[in-house]
Chain A
């Protein structure tokens, strides 16, 4: 099921399909976050924003509006 990374629940993982904002797409790619990658949402800041995700073994924090630009596919198994 396709969703935005900002909507993924804590502890769930998802596969990046595309990044819609061109101004951050390149920067995220350079930090190892690119289409095809699997990421896991680790935790959120107290006000729900920013979030911390696992990118290939390291922790990256993103503001919610940055995460909303990242389109992901959740594995169908995870959906209740």
Chain B
């Protein structure tokens, strides 16, 4: 049996979903659209039923593309998701608005269960509902009361579903729906529904207090205060980033080293050959390259879902909306953009809450311009290389100032591009806010845990495939090359090493460097040299630019291989020495201030992250947007670096 779970936003619908399905959940998309579809399995008396969680909506008639799913599935009996039973979750403390949606669903004629949720909150507000009288208005519906946050009512709901599955009521004649674009018809319907609902309410609900008013919590006085509001938000961001940088690094290093060690161990254990190389140097590091993002994604969504569960996130949207609007963004863009300072992947994934298509696309497109943590190793290396350790105006460390400048450059670029995209992207819908500010609640840790688990799962399973494929391709390009030149060059390197009486380790480094130069990527590096010469780069930097498409920090590793620096501790210092000594054919140094600064600017702008591309592809459901992103960010990077190089040289 297929069961649809429906309801207004903020009714505790996801708590009800988690309550009855536990961890037996799957996340996917509704066919053809990027609307998240959660399905869960319900086991009742040995029978498995599928529960489909639909997006929270105030009406059956859609106001955004996301909500269109509800209408298109429920108005089409041939849809693959068309349910046998509908379960509508209703917030008892806000009965009128919730019954509006419920009555629309009831009129579809399907077997219907009404879940009266948040009974505790309603009681606190002095509201009580006479279930029998309410049932008299919707005679074909089963009514169940729950308090899903406290885990109450699970049995009652399961019994109701089980009863229907054993003794399915006949489908009632549905009341015809208005066409999705006939506003006049829908308005007429809405008016008559409210007339009916006011009858229902006056007959079945009693209030202890004379009047019911939304309680403005004392917390709101701080959270939306002109000064404290922003200070509190800044403080929360600060704490979140402290946590991420302090704690994500530990598991990330662990994943990095254990995958490297496992690959090495396996390559010793397996017989030599192409197959062993593919597994040990291609696939295993590729999987490691996917998993290494998991700690950041998990931690960010841990915090985001706490902030969302408590109701604080909607206050952030409230205070930031006016600031973001001139940029073509929405108050809801703030959290994705801030998350992107740690990592653009969770940032892009967090844009799901933005219901307006245009505002969501702009947020996704500019998010990778925010300087993420993978750029830090690149920035650090380049700053140490070309920026002197001097103090400016007595207090400012020049190297620190440059780092700050790079972050600012990324932020400014993101905002400017957003403004430009605002005029380019066409959208028929006018952006709305109309956001419900839910009452403050303490977070449900179960819901937080499930959100984190789902986001990680989606990333590893969906985006992971693309990342793994690209990293194997990059590995193959860096390992293989025209066999003639590969052999010749490595033999030459061995000969040179012998003549110089180098140790075995140094010889191996020389050979690795020579192999990389004669590999396909090495050829590519040479091939693009004319194009990157105006930026101040040579073919060695070209190789590193290509390989760091896997992830930006790979830049450092590639340079280490090219310059034959052993990857042990202090790699930066010895790499920097080698880079400083590097000369062009005319004897001038390669890494001048101009070339270094040009590289930094390049890394601020360039879309060098296949993981982000994979996530953008998943979130937009097409390759069009990630390709546009590579294009405009690449152009920004190229011309930004070109201007920088020419200004400074």
Does chain A bind chain B? Answer: yes
Indicate the member of A44, A54, A57 with the most B CB atoms within 10 Å.
A57
Sorting the interface of chain B by its residue count into under 10, 10 to 19, 20 to 34 or 35 or more gives: 35 or more
Q: How far is the CA of A46 from the CA of B94 in the complex (A)?
A: 28
Contact of A27 (CB < 8 Å), options: B225, B434, B438, B439: B434
B190 touches A30 (CB 8 A): yes
Q: A34-B194, A66-B433 are in contact. Are A46 and B97 (CB under 8 A)?
A: no
B229 sits at the interface (CB 8 A) = yes
Contact of B183 (CB < 8 Å), options: A26, A54, A61: A26
Q: How far is the CA of A41 from the CA of B585 in the complex (A)?
A: 73
Contact of A66 (CB < 8 Å), options: B94, B214, B434: B434
Q: A1-9, A17-25, A71-79: which one contacts chain B? A: A17-25
A contact residues around B437 at 8 Å (CB): 52, 59-61
B100 sits at the interface (CB 8 A) = yes
Which residues of chain A from 4 to 55 have a CB within 8 Å of any chain B CB?
22-32, 34, 40, 42-50, 52, 54-55
B97 touches A27 (CB 8 A): no
Contact of A46 (CB < 8 Å), options: B229, B432, B439: B229
A68 sits at the interface (CB 8 A) = no
Q: How far is the CA of A24 from the CA of B44 in the complex (A)?
A: 43
A29 touches B194 (CB 8 A): yes
Q: A24-B432, A52-B318, A54-B213 are in contact. Are A29 and B187 (CB under 8 A)?
A: yes
B contact residues around A56 at 8 Å (CB): 94, 96-97, 212
The smallest beta-carbon distance between B375 and chain A, in angstroms, is: 32
The smallest beta-carbon distance between B205 and chain A, in angstroms, is: 12
Which chain A residue shows the least CB distance to B100? A30
B434 touches A28 (CB 8 A): yes
Which chain A residue shows the least CB distance to B226? A46
Tell me the number of A-to-B contacts counted with CB atoms below 8 Å: 117
Which chain A residue shows the least CB distance to B94? A58
A contact residues around B63 at 8 Å (CB): 27, 30
Q: How far is the CA of A32 from the CA of B98 in the complex (A)?
A: 9
Contact of A60 (CB < 8 Å), options: B101, B230, B435: B435
Q: How far is the CA of A48 from the CA of B319 in the complex (A)?
A: 9
Which chain A residue shows the least CB distance to B183? A26
B contact residues around A59 at 8 Å (CB): 214, 216, 436-439
Q: How far is the CA of A58 from the CA of B212 in the complex (A)?
A: 9
B contact residues around A24 at 8 Å (CB): 432, 434
Contact of B220 (CB < 8 Å), options: A27, A28, A43: A43
Which chain B residue shows the least CB distance to A47? B322
Which residues of chain B from 288 to 325 have a CB within 8 Å of any chain A CB?
314, 317-319, 321-323, 325
Q: Give me the 4 closest cross-chain CB pairs, A-B, nearest first.
A: A32-B97, A46-B226, A30-B59, A59-B437
Q: Can you list 17 A-B pairs, Cβ within 8 angstroms, ordered by A?
A: A27-B58, A27-B63, A29-B190, A29-B191, A30-B58, A31-B436, A40-B213, A40-B214, A45-B321, A46-B319, A49-B322, A50-B321, A50-B322, A57-B213, A60-B435, A62-B434, A66-B434
Give the interface of A toward B (CB within 8 A): 22-32, 34, 40, 42-50, 52, 54-63, 66
